[in-house]
Amino acid sequence: MTTSTPTDTLRQDVHDAARRARTAARALALLNRAEKDAALHACADAVLAAAPDVLRANDDDVRAGRDAGLDAGLLDRLRLSPERLDGIAAGLRQVAGLPDPVGEVVRGSTLANGIRLRQLRVPLGVLGMVYEARPNVTVDAAGLALKSGNAVLLRGSSSAARSNRALVVALRGALEAQGLPADAVQLLDATDRATVTHLVQARGLVDVVIPRGGAGLIQAVVRDATVPTIETGVGNCHLYVHAAADLAVAQRLVLNAKTRRVSVCNALETVLVDRAVAGVAVPQLVSALQAAGVTVHSDVEGGAELGTVPATDDDWASEYLSMDVALTVVDDLDAAVAHIDTWGTGHTEAIVTTDLAAAEAFTRRVDAAAVMVNASTAFTDGEQLGLGAEIGISTQKLHARGPMGLTELTSTKWIAWGDGHVRD
């Protein structure tokens, strides 16, 4: 007889959950759209019906978080309210309204030998989600997974454990009542960080892990994982004010991209101003940003008189996620692209220009998930780009790049129909 250490037991628990998820995923893959949409509506009803339980559990989480000294931003993301629960339920109904990606014929042809070939979209199988203290992610991820025919293993933050548990109880009850496997949605233990390690190393049992949260969380997942992962969310986004920019447009876009919501990954972090217009544009932008309450970190000449804070390489590298922005002058489009190559995270980059050749060159040469011409970086968002909903924004190039909607939660399968075809 072997002796189990606590780690062995935990690993076993995660693997057992993944095996149950695989079994559930086999059933989910065969559901048609009507069945999945009915289940999504049932989940929405169940979340609303469970509101008293969920809000009580959430109160306990928030109180414990405050006692543990969580900062105000985290507490706000953790807190649920009847209105937020309405929004969460509405999100599930919205996903029900989206087209089913499963079964889509991606490519198809009849080969020279007569074989009828189709490449069909199929679910990935078992998704792992690792995320921080936002209970809405629990329901959003479950809804997107269900619609795309995937089972999901949820590993949220311990600070939201009670809220997540209450939500997942409601979702699982709704699935069971619909005759679907409850194990399509499972919440993993959040008390031990080792759960994350076991999840991201459950190769062969889990098909993809999507980390959502700060850079530390994402790096830890990527470092430890043997399961394929999708890196999300770090956005050091730039806006380049080109020599031929309409400066009124530039100012509007800079203010929108910086101040609309500072805590999101598509927020603007660095403004690059072309030397040709710097004399006019820099004072104008700095003053507008300061009037909006933004601290400008800059290395421009005369920055002290403009009231900017001296900038170092740390500022070019920084994803502030706050009312701060970096600003520098670049010699030309080449220098702007070079700055972005050096410091960007491949999320969203924008140019403001009236010059067609400059716009074309920027879109071709900048290597990022999204490139905006005369539009705010804030548009990099699944709903804004018409994907309907998103499970995260990928900043890697493999599998999915940019906002990930339902299509990005699928794989494909080749089906070949022959009449006894053999290969020479």
Contact positions vs a copy of itself (CB under 8 A) = 26, 29-30, 109, 111, 115, 117, 119, 122, 124-125, 203, 207-208, 222-223, 226, 228-230, 246, 248-249, 252-253, 256-257, 260, 341, 359, 363-365, 367-376, 378-380, 384-386, 396-399, 401-402, 411-423
State the minimum distance, in angstroms, from the CB of residue 13 to a copy of itself. 22
Residue placing its CB nearer to a copy of itself in the complex, 69 or 420? 420
Q: What phi-psi label fits residue 163: left (phi over 0), alpha (psi between -120 and 50 degrees) or beta?
A: alpha
Residue placing its CB nearer to a copy of itself in the complex, 19 or 275? 19
Contacts of 348 by beta carbon, 8 Å cutoff, 6+ apart: 235, 237, 266, 368, 369, 370, 371, 372, 377, 380
State the minimum distance, in angstroms, from the CB of residue 2 to a copy of itself. 22
Residue placing its CB nearer to a copy of itself in the complex, 306 or 335? 335
Secondary structure of residue 402 in the 3-state scheme: strand
State the minimum distance, in angstroms, from the CB of residue 57 to a copy of itself. 33
State the minimum distance, in angstroms, from the CB of residue 307 to a copy of itself. 25
Residue placing its CB nearer to a copy of itself in the complex, 308 or 380? 380
Contacts of 90 by beta carbon, 8 Å cutoff, 6+ apart: 44
Q: For the chain, report the end-to-end CA distance as a whole number of angstroms.
A: 55
Residue placing its CB nearer to a copy of itself in the complex, 193 or 364? 364
Contacts of 352 by beta carbon, 8 Å cutoff, 6+ apart: 239, 240, 241, 242, 245, 246, 249, 250, 253, 374
State the minimum distance, in angstroms, from the CB of residue 292 to a copy of itself. 13
CA 73 to chain centre: 19
Residue placing its CB nearer to a copy of itself in the complex, 65 or 405? 405
Residue placing its CB nearer to a copy of itself in the complex, 55 or 245? 245
What is the full DSSP assignment across 129-179? EEE-S-HHHHHHHHHHHHHTT-EEEEE--GGGHHHHHHHHHHHHHHHHHTT
Residue placing its CB nearer to a copy of itself in the complex, 136 or 396? 396
Q: How far apart are CA 170 and CA 50, in angstroms?
A: 6
State the minimum distance, in angstroms, from the CB of residue 18 to a copy of itself. 14
What are the structure tokens assigned to 396, written together? 């890697």
State the minimum distance, in angstroms, from the CB of residue 23 to a copy of itself. 10
Residue placing its CB nearer to a copy of itself in the complex, 25 or 327? 25
Residue placing its CB nearer to a copy of itself in the complex, 265 or 371? 371
CA 240 to chain centre: 24
Secondary structure of residue 262 in the 3-state scheme: coil
**Containing H/E element for 352?**
strand 348-352
What are the structure tokens assigned to 351, written together? 């140019």
State the minimum distance, in angstroms, from the CB of residue 286 to a copy of itself. 19
What is the full DSSP assignment across 72-126? HHHHHHH---HHHHHHHHHHHHHHHTSPP-TT-EEEEEE-TTS-EEEEEEEE-SE
State the minimum distance, in angstroms, from the CB of residue 376 to a copy of itself. 5
Residue placing its CB nearer to a copy of itself in the complex, 93 or 365? 365
The strand ranges marked E within 234-318 are: 237-241, 268-274, 295-298, 309-310
State the minimum distance, in angstroms, from the CB of residue 199 to a copy of itself. 16
State the minimum distance, in angstroms, from the CB of residue 46 to a copy of itself. 29
- Contact indicator for 385, 411 with CB cutoff of 8 Å: no
Tokens 């390489």 locate to: 313
